[in-house]
């Protein structure tokens, strides 16, 4: 299902009205064009969980119908088990990088390897079975909370759904609802707050038990307090996994193991927050800019020490 979500997230940039009136998975599927390029090669083996690294090896990429490279001769090793932020100005290629990791698109030049194996040479389904994605806007359907979480893994048991909700620190809230996990979320999840919807989306990702968790602006639409609470949850659920988080919000990335700074399809800096802030490069400039912006504030404190 996340693939549908992923497509929806892309479509949302273009047709928000169509999205807001869409009511069912079926309708969504009918609406979607398959953006995937490249079928499985004959005899392609399945890919095991990512153990060592995801590497971009001299990758260039342009979208069809354009000859401008949005990724430009990119060589980059993303170490498994780390929390890695991808930051940079709008249009610098952050989401495209995630698209290439997910093999939603394939490089125009060069290759993406996973533990040394070209991502094009394994089955796409196996590659994606180890990954989950959380977006800024995640589709919730007017079904029960349980069914919404189970969209991450269709054969998940009730116990798995509940374990995922605990990880996302939304279990205790669910248990206060009249029908608990059977509560309907309403059209587009509008009985839930933005933070709660995001936690359901995190639960949907966690039920897949992914070795790679990809986040595309996952907390950028939230107010500052909610964002901080959800960042805290995300850093916890990322333990023992590879987390790759594309974001504009630099306050989200301070605690991450590594920050990759992109500009015009290239990596211009990488390091920890403290290393990058000590420099006088793009990161430092972006940081200074954001520190001078006013913040919104509301509330979603999350669930401390969910049992």
Give me the residues that bind ligand ATP (CB under 6 A), please: 63, 66, 70, 88, 90-96, 246, 248
Task: Report the nearest approach of ligand ATP to the CB of residue 209 (Å).
Answer: 27
For ligand ATP, which is the closer residue by CB, 113 or 247? Answer: 247
Task: Report the nearest approach of ligand ATP to the CB of residue 92 (Å).
Answer: 4
Task: Report the nearest approach of ligand ATP to the CB of residue 153 (Å).
Answer: 27
**Beta-strand relationship, 242-246 and 83-87:** parallel
For ligand ATP, which is the closer residue by CB, 5 or 196? Answer: 5
Q: What is the DSSP string of 156-169?
A: --HHHHHHHHHHTT
For ligand ATP, which is the closer residue by CB, 147 or 264? Answer: 264
For residue 231, the surrounding DSSP H or E stretch is helix 224-237
List of E strands, the chain:
53-61, 71-79, 83-87, 109-114, 117-118, 131-135, 212-216, 242-246, 258-263, 266-271
Q: Where does residue 270 rank: exposed (0-12), middle (13-18), buried (19+ CB within 10 A)?
A: middle
CB-based contact 195:222 (threshold 8 Å): yes
Task: Report the nearest approach of ligand ATP to the CB of residue 96 (Å).
Answer: 3
Task: Report the nearest approach of ligand ATP to the CB of residue 18 (Å).
Answer: 16
CB-based contact 185:192 (threshold 8 Å): yes
For ligand ATP, which is the closer residue by CB, 70 or 164? Answer: 70
| Phi, then psi, of 251 in degrees rounded to 5 | -65, -20
Count of CB atoms situated within 10 Å of the CB of 303: 17
For ligand ATP, which is the closer residue by CB, 57 or 63? Answer: 63
Count of CB atoms situated within 10 Å of the CB of 140: 23
CB-based contact 177:110 (threshold 8 Å): no
For ligand ATP, which is the closer residue by CB, 101 or 161? Answer: 101
For ligand ATP, which is the closer residue by CB, 72 or 187? Answer: 72
Task: Report the nearest approach of ligand ATP to the CB of residue 45 (Å).
Answer: 29
Task: Report the nearest approach of ligand ATP to the CB of residue 205 (Å).
Answer: 19
CB-based contact 296:224 (threshold 8 Å): yes
| DSSP classification of residue 68 | S
């Amino acid at each position: 299902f996340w693939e549908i979500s992923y497509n929806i997230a892309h479509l949302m940039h273009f047709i928000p009205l169509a999205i807001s009136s869409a009511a069912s998975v079926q309708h969504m599927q009918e609406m979607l064009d398959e953006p995937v390029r490249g079928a499985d090669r004959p005899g392609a083996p399945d890919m095991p969980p990512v153990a060592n690294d995801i590497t971009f090896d001299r990758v260039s990429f342009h979208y069809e119908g354009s000859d401008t490279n949005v990724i430009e001769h990119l060589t980059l090793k993303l170490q498994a088990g780390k929390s890695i932020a991808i930051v940079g100005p709008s249009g610098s290629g952050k989401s495209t990088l995630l698209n290439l990791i997910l093999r939603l698109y394939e490089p125009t030049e060069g290759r993406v390897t996973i533990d040394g194996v070209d991502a094009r040479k394994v089955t796409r389904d196996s590659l994606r079975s180890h990954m989950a994605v959380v977006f800024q806007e995640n589709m919730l359907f007017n079904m029960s909370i349980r069914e919404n979480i189970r969209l991450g893994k269709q054969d998940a048991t009730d116990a798995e759904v509940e374990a995922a909700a605990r990880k996302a620190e939304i279990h205790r809230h669910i248990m206060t609802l009249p029908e608990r996990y059977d509560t309907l979320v309403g059209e587009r999840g509008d009985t839930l707050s933005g933070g709660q919807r995001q936690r359901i989306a995190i639960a949907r990702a966690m039920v897949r038990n992914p070795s790679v968790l990809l986040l595309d602006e996952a907390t950028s639409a939230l107010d500052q307090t909610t964002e901080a609470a959800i960042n805290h949850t995300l850093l916890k659920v990322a333990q023992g996994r590879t987390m790759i988080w594309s974001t504009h919000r630099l306050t989200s990335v301070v605690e991450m193991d590594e920050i990759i700074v992109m500009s015009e399809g290239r990596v211009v800096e990488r390091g920890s927050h403290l290393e990058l802030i000590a420099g006088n490069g793009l990161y430092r400039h972006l940081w200074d800019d954001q520190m001078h912006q006013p913040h919104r504030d509301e509330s979603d404190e999350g669930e401390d020490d969910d049992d």
